[in-house]
Amino acid sequence: HQSIFMPSLASNPTHRLHLCWEQHCKLLPEVSGLTAKHVAKWTVEEVVSFIQRLPGCKEQASVFREEVSQVCPTP
């Protein structure tokens, strides 16, 4: 089935991706202005902080922090 974020009218993949991101930004204003280049440099705490600000994701932020500390323990 066709995703609401990937309209079938857009045949150009770059255009589809842009439309998809626009829809995500409308639903989650917290992602507006973020770029992959910027997010790729985030620390674990920056990721945790971002996840906590997402609606209904406070618990997932704690789980993320715990899982990262198990995989990459601090010396």
The per-residue DSSP string of 16-66 comes to HHHHHHHHHHHH-GGGTT--HHHHTT--HHHHHHHHHHSTT-HHHHHHHHH
Find tokens 């209904």 and name the residue. 56
**Mean pLDDT per 10-residue run, the chain (75 residues)?**
51 61 70 78 90 88 89 72
Please state the pTM of the whole predicted model.
0.59
Tokens 């945790």 sit on residue: 48
* Structural domain boundaries in the chain: 23-70
